[in-house]
Structure 1
Amino acid sequence: MVKTKGTRFFIFTFLFIPVIHLLVFSYIPILSNIYLSFTNYNGVNPPKWVGLRNYARIFTDPQYLQLFRNCLWYIIVAIPQLIFAFILAIFVNGKFKYINFFKGVLIIPYLLNGVIISTIFIIFFNNSGTLNSILRLLGLGGLAQQWLQNLRLVNPAIASISIWRYYGLNFLMFFGGLQAIPTELYEAASIDGCTKLQEIRYISIPSIVNILFINIILSISGSIQVFEIPYIMMNGANGTATPVIQIQQSAFYENRVGFAAALSIMVFVIVVITVNIQRIFDKRGNVYL
């Protein structure tokens, strides 16, 4: 009996600190944020209950609806990003002499600091930058412009940076999945007269569908939470603000903490819904995230 009580006390002492840490730094802040989202709290005066006013403004004000429309550009560019990463993984799958060096080079953009990436592409999209120089070299100087000042092109231009930054990560995930496929399957398919495209369609894609789905979920949730690059490059100007940028500006520049809390709850809910879509597919096809 003494041994049982001692064991329980020993387990309790080990669990106590992590549980307290989880409550103080996770659950209590989330509950506090939910409460503040129903108030007009400005960070100084006591919060006053305003009900659903903050949420109503998010859904009815075109200015805030545009924040979520801006995120669609990041979701759109994720499509060619994933396609390019998959094609590249298929191309180098198998015996490739310098594969380790190749993987190291591809992952570099993902490892770079956001400030460095932003600086690179501010120069790239500048009027006298790399993109316009290439266009002029190809005789397409009429297309050269201030890309970050064009209200129609600034969002797709900034979103396209994600292709360069994340395709290496997607490539490594696809490549790892392809490497796990038994070579006997390809050998049997080759004996049966399957073409390379048929092998990709009937062996490669079905074998890495889990990884493909995970990449899609990560791309969508990441697009909703995008902050770093558009904030550093434009500070939300020229219609480039995203929900997270607006949360930061509302809370720390406009002293509208209650509204910022409501917007953060909306982002949280969208991300949770996106991730839970994976749970549905998990029951159908054992897709793990």
Structure 2
Amino acid sequence: MFNLSYNKQKYVILACFLTVPLILLLMFSVYPALALFYFSLTDWDGLGFDMHWIGFANYKDIFTRADIFAVFRTNLYYFVGGLVQTALALWFAVILSDRLRGRYFFQVMLFLPYVLHSVATVIMFKNVYHAEYGSLNTLLGALGLTAWKQMWLGNPHLVNFSLAFISMWKYFGLSMVIFIGALQSIPKDLYEAARIDGASGWQSFRFITVPSVRRVIELMLILTLTGALEAFDIPYVMMLGANGTTTFVIQTVDMAFKFENYGLASAMAVVLLLIVLLVIGLQRKLLFREGR
């Protein structure tokens, strides 16, 4: 190698450094994706290698069964909750980016739920939402609001709101920290100049803060959308998809492991991937066209 020219040595080194990442990418991303698509074209039951090629029959089954896509109504709760969470995270980030006494303490406390494991979070909220000894109903009773006490997990009209709130509470801190990092990159001179020109706090937020963190807001909306479409751990651990809490991912998992129809489950996973890519593309094209 030492007899090679500088340019050839450079290309050899680059090739060596790229070989391992490319091998890992092919092994853990490309090959599983291709295998998933192949399984979606079979009637595989997940046992052994006895699978029969049935073409696009699984995809036809998906698009002709209304019950498969009906569960996206449950995912909608998580999407709306994610939008509210993003707005609140930006608001708290603006407040905690200012010279507020104890702001680091509040930042740590608000970020702490994200560090907790999802199973631990669900167990904790089971004690919050329990109809008899839950802390939420106990608090409402202590405040004299007995009429507000509910079966938060037993009422089909409230259960998805309750679960979406858990998701908001858990991921709020991550969104806030991301926004704080973006806000710290904004030059303080812009706010000083706006203050001298007589701009109010709302005007500074609207014309300085929001345009400056526009790309981050776009990222958070994409994460909110994908997170809502892929909601699984909280409703599954809490309810196992019962009482109208089944999401598309839960239905896919049940199709594979409960009904042993891995072919149809693989097709559902491929459809979900295509939906995510399509919606993200539309979101970027329609909502964030300006400035491109």
Do they superpose with TM above 0.5? yes
Counterpart position of 1:261? 266
Distance across 2 between alignment mates of 1:15 and 1:186: 44
Counterpart position of 1:154? 159
Counterpart position of 2:92? 88
Q: Aligned to 1:251, what secondary structure does the other structure show?
A: helix
CA 1:48–1:163 in structure 2 vs 1: closer, same or farther (change >3 Å)? same
Counterpart position of 1:3? 4
CA 1:71–1:34 in structure 2 vs 1: closer, same or farther (change >3 Å)? same
Counterpart position of 2:21? 18
Residue 59 of structure 1: how far off its partner (Å): 2.7
For the pair 1:272 / 2:277, whether they are aligned, the reply is yes
Residue 220 of structure 1: how far off its partner (Å): 0.6
Residue 63 of structure 1: how far off its partner (Å): 2.4
CA 1:211–1:6 in structure 2 vs 1: closer, same or farther (change >3 Å)? closer
For the pair 1:41 / 2:47, whether they are aligned, the reply is no
Counterpart position of 1:71? 75
Residue 46 of structure 1: how far off its partner (Å): 2.3
Matches within 5 A, 1:208-223: 208-223=213-228
Kindly indicate whether the alpha-carbon contact (under 8 Å) linking 1:94 and 1:179 is maintained by their aligned counterparts in 2.
no
CA 1:78–1:193 in structure 2 vs 1: closer, same or farther (change >3 Å)? same
Counterpart position of 1:29? 32
CA 1:152–1:51 in structure 2 vs 1: closer, same or farther (change >3 Å)? farther
For the pair 1:100 / 2:104, whether they are aligned, the reply is yes
Q: Aligned to 2:50, what secondary structure does the other structure show?
A: coil
Identity over aligned residues, as a percent?
Answer: 37
Q: Output one character per residue of 1:182-207: Cα deviation in whole Å (capped at 9) or x when no partner.
A: 11111111111111111111111111
Distance across 1 between alignment mates of 2:98 and 2:142: 38
Counterpart position of 1:285? 291
CA 1:210–1:20 in structure 2 vs 1: closer, same or farther (change >3 Å)? closer
Distance across 1 between alignment mates of 2:11 and 2:288: 35
CA 1:141–1:61 in structure 2 vs 1: closer, same or farther (change >3 Å)? farther
Relative to the length of structure 1, the TM-score reads 0.90
Give 1:125's match in structure 2, choosing from 129, 154, 171.
Answer: 129
Counterpart position of 2:56? 52
Instruction: Flag structure 1 segments of 5+ consecutive residues without an equivalent.
Output: none
Relative to the length of structure 2, the TM-score reads 0.89
Residue 80 of structure 1: how far off its partner (Å): 1.7
Greater displacement, 128-137 / 16-25? 16-25
Distance across 1 between alignment mates of 2:54 and 2:81: 38
Q: Output one character per residue of 1:119-169: Cα deviation in whole Å (capped at 9) or x when no partner.
A: 011111111212212222333322322211112221121011122111111
Q: Aligned to 2:221, what secondary structure does the other structure show?
A: helix
Residue 106 of structure 1: how far off its partner (Å): 1.1
Kindly indicate whether the alpha-carbon contact (under 8 Å) linking 2:167 and 2:234 is maintained by their aligned counterparts in 1.
no
Aligned pairs, how many? 286
Kindly indicate whether the alpha-carbon contact (under 8 Å) linking 2:43 and 2:261 is maintained by their aligned counterparts in 1.
yes
